[in-house]
Structure 1
Amino acid sequence: MGKIFLFDALREATDEEMEKDSSVFVLGEDVGHYGGSYKVTKDLHVKYGDLRILDTPIAENSFMGMAIGAAMTGLRPIVEGMNMSFLLLAFNQISNNAGMLRYTSGGNFKIPLVIRGPGGVGKQLGAEHSQRLEAYFQAIPGLKIVACSTPYNAKGLLKSAIRDDNPVILFEHVLLYNLKDEVPSQEYFLPLDKAEVVREGSDVTIVTYSRMRHHVMQAVDILICDGYDPEVIDLISLKPIDIQSIINSLKQTHHLIIVEECMKTGGIAAEIIAQINDNCFDLLDAPVVRLSSQDIPTPYNGNLEKATVVHPQQIVDSVRMLLS
């Protein structure tokens, strides 16, 4: 085991898979000589050359379409979005092509494509660079969606995504790249459809993902001191949602809080609540509590920006109110 940054974990995963499989290549803006906006591809062009670490023009719809075509012909492209917000420019290619072609071709084409990059509310990046697109893409059939939250799951998820024969979107949070944690030296893979039980507990189930995992764990430290015993689940997989792990937890706790950075209207939490109502409503002793970002464009002003997202004290207060 060794402690590395999250961006290094992603770089290691990319390097290992490119070394083992010559069909794997990376493309995107400034991924080559510059090494990527957050240094996930730093120096890889020296090892693999400019055709496998391919710098593209600022034309998301064009290079996304090229990547999908490459995937159809047997290559395994990794598209880095300089900021995930920019991938809205390639929404047509991702939805109508990447998500549908395996089905509409009757299985004649596989689409082994990974789309990854930074997103979420950073620190005064402005509205257009603070998008949370997970709910945008969650409705698209044919896609798999995962969100990493630690260096460990970042590496394991990316390696699994690269080897998958379906299009996978990996959401990385802009404020987690410098998170440092232990990662095994031996090779490992993580499933793309399983949640992680971060902490077992008996009082309340707190479901979260991405950066909010760390806000939740800060809240848990306070709650434990107050005598509460929360269970924490990191979704990791946003499509498909591992609803069974949530159901198993609710059989013990009977209370559910969902903490997300996504928008409240039509967000990931909204989908989870719908599935809970469909599958296990009778397990609940109280209504589900949903803690989400405000339904407004993210302000540039630092104090206003901070007010739009969920913070640990809000989670603490919600647990106390739910269990009172």
Structure 2
Amino acid sequence: MLVLLLPLLAATVGAEVACYHCYGNTTTHGQLCSIDKLCLGESCFFKVEQNGEWSAGCGENPAPSALDCTKNDAEMSINCQCTAELCNQFKSVNETLTTLANYDTNFHVPLMLPDLAVSCIECGNVTIANHSLRVPCAERHICRGDYCVVKRGLDPHTYCGSLWEGTNEERCSKQPGEAEQCVCKNDMCNVMLSPEAMQEMLRPTTTLAPTTTTYITSLPEPTTVAGAPEVTDSPPSAINVTQALPTAGTPATTPPKKKCKNTMKFSPNAQAVLMGQKLSQAIDGGFGSGSEGVQQFKDGIDTHICNYSE
């Protein structure tokens, strides 16, 4: 028996716990685990069959609070159970299965999953019946999906989506009586700021003197070499250049055109640049810079700033 202790989530204490409700029958048929699809029960479970099929949901049997995974040699399956909020999280169970495989090399079962190429944040407020749960927006709640989703409404939250449930077409939609749902397909594109972070981002800054112009440029794209190891891209450099305005008799000079990573340029928009800069600061304060997914998201912000710069 292999036991993995998981940190508990802050939630409303009650007789029942919220569990992930998901499954995978084949690589093209299933339901991805997300906080948008939860159930309530006395305990949570996660079961893996020998052929790679798996399922997770709510159970009625008593179970320990920490995740407890047991290998059934007769059925060639693994049964995990626990009694804590979202304790049957796919990421945690997958780590347990990896550890179990290290103890028994003859028992390695690849789980049935679609191609999950995008990193998203999974957090926010969810309510099942009268059971409320607040999932913190922290690095341990970064998930993998085909695309990222934001749901706005009384219980705003974000999560990972897959082609099992829908399309990765980037758009926002709202049905009568339902929360607005927005889909995006870039790493960490569904980051949802706290009210405090949003206030900080919208706080006005000191207006620059009219004699100063700031240009923001980015480094050129690195040359790709076949067979070279993958290296995390460094964020584009921000270069501040101060120039005095031309005086009478002095011909005005035109600053060189900047080349953004996506080769796109829009009409100059100082507010869009300011919002991008403050969003980058908020991400640094909330997530740090140690995650590859967060770094990719910041690279996108730098490109956004470049697109709207003078």
TM-score by length of 2: 0.30
Structure number, greater radius of gyration: 2
Using CA pairs under 8 Å that are at least 6 residues apart, name the structure with larger relative contact order, 1 or 2. 1
- Identify the structure with the greater strand proportion: 2
TM-score by length of 1: 0.29
